[in-house]
Amino acid sequence: MPYLFTSESVSEGHPDKVADQISDALIDNFLAWDADSKVACETLVTTGQVILAGEVKSKTYLDVQRIARDVIRKIGYTKSEYMFEANSCGVLSAIHEQSADINQGVDRINKQEQGAGDQGMMFGYATNETDNYMPLALDLAHKILIELAAIRREATQIAYLRPDAKSQVTIEYSDDHRPIRIDSIVVSTQHDDFDTEEAMQQRIQRDIVEVLIPRVKSQLKEELQALFTDQITYHINPTGKFVIGGPHGDTGLTGRKIIVDTYGGKGAHGGGAFSGKDPSKVDRSAAYATRHIAKNMVAAGVADEVLVQVSYAIGVKDPMGIYVNTYGTAKVDLSDGEIAKLVGEVFDMTPYGIETRLKLRNPIYSETAAYGHMGRKNETVTKVFEGANGERKEVEVELFTWEKLDYVDKIKAAFRL
């Protein structure tokens, strides 16, 4: 019997994502000036206020106020009527030095012996239902909000949009787990005030369905465009008025959108957030590494769908174990346990091995902090950083290295494909 599956996304202007982006901007700035920085920083945003807290071990000093304001300005909180604005909000820093007790379990004279920054389990997932090996419902939810943000910045087709927004996509699947159609789409977007709520509802409904959705649809291949039928149920700003939003409408905290950040409810999640953590924290680095494994395995033809789990003990370099679930879709004559054993032979899953393989000691994290950490475009860019003393530095970095299909041949050789 056909079934429904739903995933949601939130925009860069959502308060939790504002917090994530500030935390990751701090990570990037620390790593740009001192690649060995150890950082765990959290951000809270609310009406007119930003609070930074966390632990840092670094040789550099940052103007954290300027960095936070730059992020807020880039997102689009630039008007006083938003009650949260880049130039006027307060920024309080309670960042302090990292605990020596924690650091002694991570740092080693020989970097290859580096221990995990914490205990826990991390998951990576991939499926062949989209070209980027991501679950379709989440991929569409992200695309809707990326395009909505583009329309907001253009301010031509739709001029009343404000930064905060959420989306949700429900897809009907067949018994053999193939998408049949889109059942419903939810879009809630913050907006300027209208003369009447009725006029607002009519205008936003029309613009989302007739402007936004066609722009999203045009980016997709034909078989996915066919899922957009005239039977879709749209819920556009279903509560009505959405003028008060962003950090004024809801307090935002780093790390509260971990399912949006990963697979939209598909696969599994170990519970650890990513943003605000340097790559010695395996919550982040091992989640990227398991995504890299799962994606390359599906691309290599090992299975149509793969979940990979890895787990660690704090201060210990080797993982406690590697688990693989192919959901019965494996194309090789091996059990999932046998597949997991081969994965451990192909991939170095020590914290140092992950950091070096995926080039994680680089300032590459700001781009991850909105619209998902997985399924993104791998590319090389040049980023510019300004130090607290006004010094400027250009850094060429490779983004989303865990999305590269650079281990397909090695996997095929290991699995004799």
Distances, alpha carbon 253 to alpha carbons 41, 175, 362, in Å: 11, 39, 24
User: Is residue 273 part of an annotated ligand binding site?
Assistant: yes
Nearest to 62 by CA among 95, 88, 13, 84: 95
User: Is residue 16 part of an annotated ligand binding site?
Assistant: yes
User: Is residue 415 part of an annotated ligand binding site?
Assistant: no
User: Is residue 164 part of an annotated ligand binding site?
Assistant: yes
Query: Cα separation of 310 and 320, whole Å?
Result: 7
Token duo for residue 308: 């990979």
User: Is residue 42 part of an annotated ligand binding site?
Assistant: yes
User: Is residue 383 part of an annotated ligand binding site?
Assistant: no
User: Is residue 55 part of an annotated ligand binding site?
Assistant: yes
User: Is residue 257 part of an annotated ligand binding site?
Assistant: yes
User: Is residue 333 part of an annotated ligand binding site?
Assistant: no
User: Is residue 166 part of an annotated ligand binding site?
Assistant: yes
User: Is residue 277 part of an annotated ligand binding site?
Assistant: yes
User: Is residue 242 part of an annotated ligand binding site?
Assistant: yes
Quickly tell me which residue has 């221990």 as its tokens. 115
User: Is residue 241 part of an annotated ligand binding site?
Assistant: yes
Nearest to 16 by CA among 273, 212, 244, 262: 273
Nearest to 280 by CA among 353, 373, 201: 353
User: Is residue 292 part of an annotated ligand binding site?
Assistant: no
Beta strand 233-236 with 49-57 is unpaired
Annotated binding site: 14, 16, 42, 55, 98, 164-166, 241-242, 250, 256-257, 273, 277, 281
Annotated binding site for L-methionine: 55, 98, 250, 281
Annotated binding site for ATP: 14, 164-166, 241-242, 250, 256-257, 273, 277
Annotated binding site for K(+): 42
Annotated binding site for Mg(2+): 16
